[in-house]
């Protein structure tokens, strides 16, 4: 049976032969055993809903073994036989060109070259799922192949609930992931209800079909690293020969070495999973691999002496590096961490006193002991960072719940008035910020999000590199034109983004689909998208362009420890912005929309959403992009301005002057002296 026939078939008519997991790809660790006997039976009952009764006897036993061995039911038997990758859009069987674009995006998220644990349908972050099992994938692809532009597919945490009549103006797809009653959104609730097969953690772009490989975060990481160096270096100094030390070479964290190279420094990135490190090295995302700490020390000293721009992956634990570099008196200019601490007890963070293999066994066989080891490691981790910080290291939290989980572990992440690090803070100290800033608080929030700049992205549906190069040229010209009249407040941002797109092709960023990321504001996004649409209409581009963004953006995410950490009016623990964003995008022209619990910092800590918009060269596509992209950015700027962020007030006032139909409620600022005399 050929590829198209398999897609249209969905669940096979005959029970396929049993399949074994491939040893050629990384696999998700065994999940915690959390279900009672009755709940295990319920998990099997739930899984069998996808299949005819004649198969139940055989599949029930097989699924019970999967649940026992892996902690989840992935339905490996139903993995498709065809290769998984983003095909040119015309190769998909579809009645709707928009649905074909969605199939391309889904397959990209599951491409073994892209996904972290492809056979467990995990794209990145250890538990960022596209679907819960392979039956959901098969049914979803069948629905997409058969739907029309007057239907909408609704997906509940990976489960395709069905096709419903709608209209051409409506989204073709609506996705929710992990939407829980608030009181049932603790980490163990994810373990339980995901094991039951009734919810999933979609991370951000994993469960919303908008992942574009590590490129998806590399631009923001490069911006962050460049501006962090600008904070600590003299004006005439360059980052060459200066160290950025961090951890993680997974789907998102794997962008760090490439970003460091772009920023022009020495990047040292520790990764405990040798398979992940090797994958990034083979893809050209890190320059050198080392697995011996003595060799790393020697290589680092050489790189400092020669003022190199190089990225080094250390296959080992980052705590070892922090501690050894202190002993060796190696000065670290910048430090951060991108381990998956949103998922600390199930493979997101590996303790320094255990091997990778020992950890994978212990996290399922003795979860409490493993948790204690993680927390002890976090305390050591912070102690080592604090020693370096006293010598002048600038450390920032990268929004991965590092400081959050370290604080919960009792690590010394607070400071008193004299600057001493504390592991037992007073109530007043706990209610203040940690000793180290979030990168959003110090850099990305005031420099980018408050002005409307964020990770806009596009995918060339043709699959042709030449189309991607043409879009780069279109975007570059558009940005250069905008920069000519841009105010001084955003000239640096414009210049950094122009430099990025000029060098993007040469930096070999593509992994998977022919995609590009570019930080742009509302004006930039709309003008670039309109130029793409015109290029499609004229035939300059050979096929559709799919627009999207990371959820990690101006408006898409409410996350008090990351995206909205620089909101200081008390509203950073609310989620109105993200909910309004997904609703507002849905009726302004998005091809698909998504809203998730979790993402970045973790389950129960974040509400985030995204969109996809297919450009086909039509006038209708132009109308949609103009309306939707405008709201998708300015919704967040308006919220940030109401929180009294001066950059956002500037940006929204400028937008109202540019767009007479926009009317936003602005804050009246209160003098501090007026408040100081109250409540004495």
Between the alpha carbon of residue 333 and those of residues 82, 114, 225, 228, 288, the distances in Å are 47, 31, 11, 9, 20
pLDDT value at 410 more than 60: yes
Q: Which range of residues forms the domain containing residue 537? A: 454-672
Between the alpha carbon of residue 354 and those of residues 274, 319, 345, 447, the distances in Å are 15, 12, 14, 40
34 vs 525: CA distance, rounded Å:
45
Mean pLDDT of 318-336: 98
Residue 207 lies in a domain: no
| Token couple for 144 | 């997409």
Query: Please, are residues 557 and 563 in contact by the beta-carbon 8 Å criterion?
Result: yes
Residue at token pair 């945490």: 157
Residue 303 lies in a domain: yes
Backbone φ, ψ for residue 308 (5° rounding): -80, 155
Residue 204 lies in a domain: no
| Token couple for 335 | 């430090």
> Which of residues 327 and 422 earns the better pLDDT score?
327
pLDDT value at 430 more than 70: no
Give me the pLDDT at residue 521, please.
98
Based on the fold, state whether residues 521 and 641 are members of the same structural domain: yes
Which residue from 126, 106, 108, 107 is spatially nearest to 116, judged by alpha carbons? 126
Between the alpha carbon of residue 393 and those of residues 300, 330, 548, the distances in Å are 16, 11, 36
- 452-466: per-residue pLDDT in tens? 999 999 999 999 999
314 vs 274: CA distance, rounded Å:
9
Q: How many CB atoms lie within 10 A of CB 389?
A: 19
Which residue from 399, 528, 532 is spatially nearest to 461, judged by alpha carbons? 532
Mean pLDDT of 395-400: 92
Based on the fold, state whether residues 166 and 301 are members of the same structural domain: no
Give me the pLDDT at residue 216, please.
82
Residue 587 lies in a domain: yes
- 553-611: per-residue pLDDT in tens? 999 999 999 999 999 999 999 999 999 999 999 999 999 999 999 988 899 999 999 99
Based on the fold, state whether residues 304 and 348 are members of the same structural domain: yes
Which residue from 179, 172, 206, 43 is spatially nearest to 95, judged by alpha carbons? 172
Give me the pLDDT at residue 368, please.
96
pLDDT value at 426 more than 70: no
447 vs 501: CA distance, rounded Å:
19
- Kindly give, in sequence order, each residue whose CB lies less than 8 Å from that of residue 55, ignoring residues fewer than 6 positions away: 15, 48
Residue at token pair 């961490």: 337
Pairing mode, strands 454-460 and 515-520:
antiparallel
Based on the fold, state whether residues 36 and 136 are members of the same structural domain: yes
- 337-366: per-residue pLDDT in tens? 999 998 899 899 999 999 999 999 999 999
Distance of CA 228 to the CA centre of its chain: 21
Give me the pLDDT at residue 532, please.
99
| Token couple for 329 | 């008196």
Last-in-domain residue among 402, 437, 472 = 437
Based on the fold, state whether residues 458 and 332 are members of the same structural domain: no
CATH number of the domain within which 575 lies: 3.40.1770.10
- Kindly give, in sequence order, each residue whose CB lies less than 8 Å from that of residue 608, ignoring residues fewer than 6 positions away: 204, 551, 552, 556, 557, 558, 559, 563, 578, 595, 596, 598, 599, 600
- 137-184: per-residue pLDDT in tens? 999 999 999 999 999 999 999 999 999 999 999 999 999 999 999 999
Based on the fold, state whether residues 386 and 512 are members of the same structural domain: no
Give me the pLDDT at residue 423, please.
77
- pLDDT band, very low/low/confident/very high, at 429 (cuts 50, 70, 90): low
Based on the fold, state whether residues 371 and 422 are members of the same structural domain: yes
574 vs 584: CA distance, rounded Å:
18
What sign does the CA torsion over 334, 339, 342, 345 have?
negative
> Side-chain half-sphere of 532: how many Cα atoms within 13 Å?
30
- The continuous run of DSSP H or E covering 637 comes out as helix 619-642
- 67-81: per-residue pLDDT in tens? 999 999 999 999 999
543 in helix, strand or coil?
coil
456 vs 454: CA distance, rounded Å:
6
pLDDT value at 472 more than 80: yes
- Kindly give, in sequence order, each residue whose CB lies less than 8 Å from that of residue 252, ignoring residues fewer than 6 positions away: 124, 125, 214, 216, 217, 338
Angle at 72 between CA 67 and CA 76, to 5 degrees: 85
603 vs 286: CA distance, rounded Å:
30
Based on the fold, state whether residues 288 and 415 are members of the same structural domain: yes
Based on the fold, state whether residues 291 and 394 are members of the same structural domain: yes
Query: Please, are residues 456 and 517 in contact by the beta-carbon 8 Å criterion?
Result: yes
Residue 224 lies in a domain: yes
**What b/e readout covers 161-199, taking b as 16+ CB neighbours within 10 angstroms?**
eebeebeeebbbbbbbbbebeeeebebebbbbbbbbbbb
Between the alpha carbon of residue 568 and those of residues 182, 373, 673, the distances in Å are 23, 34, 18
Give me the pLDDT at residue 427, please.
60
Last-in-domain residue among 372, 407, 437 = 437
- 220-230: per-residue pLDDT in tens? 899 999 999 99
pLDDT value at 108 more than 80: yes
- Kindly give, in sequence order, each residue whose CB lies less than 8 Å from that of residue 645, ignoring residues fewer than 6 positions away: 445, 446, 450, 566, 567
622 vs 467: CA distance, rounded Å:
19
- 488-521: per-residue pLDDT in tens? 999 999 999 999 999 999 999 999 999 999 999 9
Residue at token pair 């998806």: 216
Residue at token pair 């809903």: 49
Which residue from 443, 474, 479 is spatially nearest to 458, judged by alpha carbons? 474
Based on the fold, state whether residues 470 and 398 are members of the same structural domain: no
Residue 367 lies in a domain: yes
CATH number of the domain within which 321 lies: 3.40.50.10730
Instruction: Give the DSSP letter of residue 273.
Output: -
Mean pLDDT of 247-269: 93
Mean pLDDT of 622-634: 98
Q: What DSSP string describes 59-111? A: HHHHHHHHHHHHSS---GGG--SS--S---GGGS--S-HHHHHHHHHHHHHH-
**Dihedral, CA of residue 218, residue 220, residue 221 and residue 227, to nearest 10:** 140
Last-in-domain residue among 133, 167, 195 = 195
Note the pTM of the prediction, 2 decimals.
0.93
341 vs 404: CA distance, rounded Å:
9
- Kindly give, in sequence order, each residue whose CB lies less than 8 Å from that of residue 648, ignoring residues fewer than 6 positions away: 450, 451, 637, 638, 640, 641
End-to-end CA distance of the chain: 79
Which residue from 520, 493, 482, 543 is spatially nearest to 630, judged by alpha carbons? 520
416 vs 60: CA distance, rounded Å:
58
Based on the fold, state whether residues 277 and 164 are members of the same structural domain: no
453 vs 444: CA distance, rounded Å:
9
| Token couple for 479 | 């940005």
Give percent above pLDDT 70 in the chain.
99
Based on the fold, state whether residues 490 and 562 are members of the same structural domain: yes
Mean pLDDT of 308-323: 98
Residue 559 lies in a domain: yes
Query: Please, are residues 202 and 128 in contact by the beta-carbon 8 Å criterion?
Result: yes
Number of folded domains that form the chain = 3
- pLDDT band, very low/low/confident/very high, at 432 (cuts 50, 70, 90): low
Residue 117 lies in a domain: yes
Residue at token pair 């998005």: 590
pLDDT value at 431 more than 80: no
């Amino acid at each position: 049976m050929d590829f198209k026939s398999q897609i249209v078939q969905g669940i096979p008519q005959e029970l396929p032969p049993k399949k074994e997991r491939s040893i050629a790809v990384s696999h998700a660790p065994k999940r915690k055993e959390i279900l009672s006997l009755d709940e295990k039976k319920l998990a099997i009952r739930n899984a069998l809903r996808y299949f005819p009764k004649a198969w139940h006897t055989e599949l029930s036993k097989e699924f019970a073994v999967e649940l026992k061995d892996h902690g989840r039911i992935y339905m490996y038997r139903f993995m498709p036989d065809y290769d998984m990758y983003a095909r040119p859009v015309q190769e998909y069987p579809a009645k709707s060109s928009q649905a074909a674009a969605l199939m391309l995006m889904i397959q990209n998220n599951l491409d073994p070259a892209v996904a972290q644990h492809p056979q467990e349908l995990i794209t990145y972050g250890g538990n960022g799922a596209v679907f819960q099992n392979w039956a959901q994938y098969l049914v979803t692809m069948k629905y997409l192949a058969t739907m029309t532009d007057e239907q909408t597919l609704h997906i509940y945490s990976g489960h395709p609930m069905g096709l419903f009549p709608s209209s051409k103006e409506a989204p073709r797809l609506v996705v929710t992931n992990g939407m829980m009653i608030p009181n049932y959104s603790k980490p163990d609730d994810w373990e339980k209800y995901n094991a039951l097969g009734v919810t999933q953690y979609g991370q951000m772009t994993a469960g919303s079909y908008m992942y574009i490989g590590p490129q998806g975060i590399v631009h923001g990481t490069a911006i962050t690293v460049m501006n962090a160096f600008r904070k600590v270096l003299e004006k005439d100094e360059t980052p060459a020969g200066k160290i950025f030390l961090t951890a993680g070479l997974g789907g998102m964290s794997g962008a760090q070495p490439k970003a460091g190279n772009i920023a022009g420094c020495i990047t040292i990135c520790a990764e405990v999973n040798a398979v992940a490190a090797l994958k990034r090295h083979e893809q050209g995302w890190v320059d050198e691999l080392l697995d011996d700490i003595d060799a790393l020390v020697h290589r680092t000293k050489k790189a400092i002496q020669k003022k190199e721009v190089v990225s080094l992956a250390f296959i080992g634990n980052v705590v070892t590096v922090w501690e050894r570099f202190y002993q060796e008196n190696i000065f670290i200019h910048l430090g951060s961490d991108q381990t998956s601490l949103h998922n600390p007890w199930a493979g997101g963070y590996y303790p320094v006193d255990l091997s990778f293999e020992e950890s994978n066994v212990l996290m399922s066989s003795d979860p409490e002991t493993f948790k204690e080891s993680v927390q002890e490691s976090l305390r050591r981790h912070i102690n080592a960072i604090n020693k370096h910080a006293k010598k002048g290291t600038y450390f920032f939290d990268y929004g991965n719940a590092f400081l959050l989980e370290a604080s919960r572990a009792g690590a010394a992440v607070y400071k008193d008035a004299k600057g001493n690090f504390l592991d037992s803070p007073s109530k007043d100290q706990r209610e203040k910020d940690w000793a180290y800033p979030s990168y959003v608080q110090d850099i990305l929030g005031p420099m980018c999000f408050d002005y409307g700049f964020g990770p806009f992205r596009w995918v060339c549906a043709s699959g042709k590199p030449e189309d991607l190069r043409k879009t780069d040229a279109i975007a570059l010209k558009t940005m250069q034109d905008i920069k000519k009249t841009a105010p001084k407040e955003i000239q640096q941002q414009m210049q950094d983004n122009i430099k990025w797109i000029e060098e993007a092709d040469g930096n070999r960023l593509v992994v998977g689909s022919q995609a590009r990321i570019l930080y742009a504001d509302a004006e930039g996004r709309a003008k670039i998208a309109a130029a793409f649409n015109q290029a499609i209409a004229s035939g300059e581009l050979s096929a559709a362009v799919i627009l999207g963004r990371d959820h990690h953006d101006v408006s898409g995410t409410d996350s008090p420890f990351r995206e909205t950490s620089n909101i200081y009016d008390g509203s950073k623990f609310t989620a109105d912005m993200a909910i309004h964003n997904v609703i507002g995008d849905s009726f302004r022209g998005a091809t698909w929309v998504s809203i998730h619990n979790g993402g970045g910092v973790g389950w129960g800590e974040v509400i985030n959403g995204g969109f996809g918009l297919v450009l086909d060269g039509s006038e209708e596509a132009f109308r949609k992009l103009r309306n939707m992209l405008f709201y998708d950015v300015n919704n967040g700027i308006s919220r940030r301005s109401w929180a009294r962020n001066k950059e956002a007030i500037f940006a929204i006032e400028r937008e109202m002057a540019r767009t007479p139909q926009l009317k936003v409620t602005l804050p009246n600022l209160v003098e501090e002296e007026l408040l100081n005399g109250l409540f004495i």
